[in-house]
Amino acid sequence: MLGIVFSEFVDMVEASFSADMVDDILDDTGFETDGAYSTVGAYDHQELVGLVVALSKRTGISIDDLVQTFGQHLMVRFAERYRFFFEGVTDFFDFLKSVDNQIHVEVRKLYPVAELPRFVVRDINPTTVVMEYHSSRSFENLARGLIEGAADYFNQPVSISMETKKEATDQKFTEFTITTLP
């Protein structure tokens, strides 16, 4: 996982809790990196999971909630940092459809070591899409937070439900049903 994701996580913990909390969870996990994440570096995604677990233990907030909130935060930061992916896009569903075949494709060009999920988006009706999240990393709550963050960015009230499904190969994936609300 890219260093930019770790730095954003550390920034969020500092802003939402404190700099001491950042030090504490780094101490709890004892990873060698010790918070010195280079924005151009890449680290084991399990290290992020470890930091979230430590934060959950110290705050009593569930891991799923922390990861989801981080997804919302990350979308705000992506919109600031990578403005060009958002320019000219006015429709929330068009944006969701562009993640797999445009945005993440460009992300891979910028960062060849990026570990990206795969998405399949299908229209159900004019107000509902289904978005399948496929990844070996099980960051479905991060995906959910990113989708919520994107809905906020487009000022689009939504309801989102998620369901775990299985491929024919037994591999799990998550299906998000996303409905725009008036």
Q: Judged by CB, which is closer to ligand HEM: 27, or 123?
A: 123
Interface with ligand HEM includes 24 (CB under 6 A)? no
Candidates 15-23, 33-41, 108-116, 164-172; binding stretch for ligand HEM (CB under 6 A): 108-116
**How near is the Cβ of 18 to ligand HEM at its closest, in Å?**
25
Number of residues in contact with ligand HEM under rule CB under 6 A? 23
Structure tokens at 29: 């996990």
Interface with ligand HEM includes 175 (CB under 6 A)? no
Beta carbons of 114 and 107 less than 8 angstroms apart: yes
Residue 45: how many CA atoms within 13 Å on its side-chain side? 13
> Which position among 115, 132, 152, 175 is part of the footprint of ligand HEM (CB under 6 A)?
115
> Which position among 54, 103, 129, 178 is part of the footprint of ligand HEM (CB under 6 A)?
103
Cα 96 to Cα 31, 93, 146, 152, 169, distances in angstroms = 34, 5, 10, 13, 26
DSSP 85: G
Structure tokens at 10: 């550390």
How far is the C-alpha of 73 from the C-alpha of 44, rounded, in Å? 21
Please calculate the CA angle 95-112-90 and round it to the nearest 5 degrees.
10
Interface with ligand HEM includes 37 (CB under 6 A)? no
Region 119-148 residues binding ligand HEM, contact defined as CB under 6 A: 135, 137, 139, 142-143, 146-147
Q: Interface with ligand HEM by CB under 6 A: which residues?
A: 1-2, 5, 78, 82, 85, 96, 99, 103-104, 107, 114-117, 135, 137, 139, 142-143, 146-147, 150
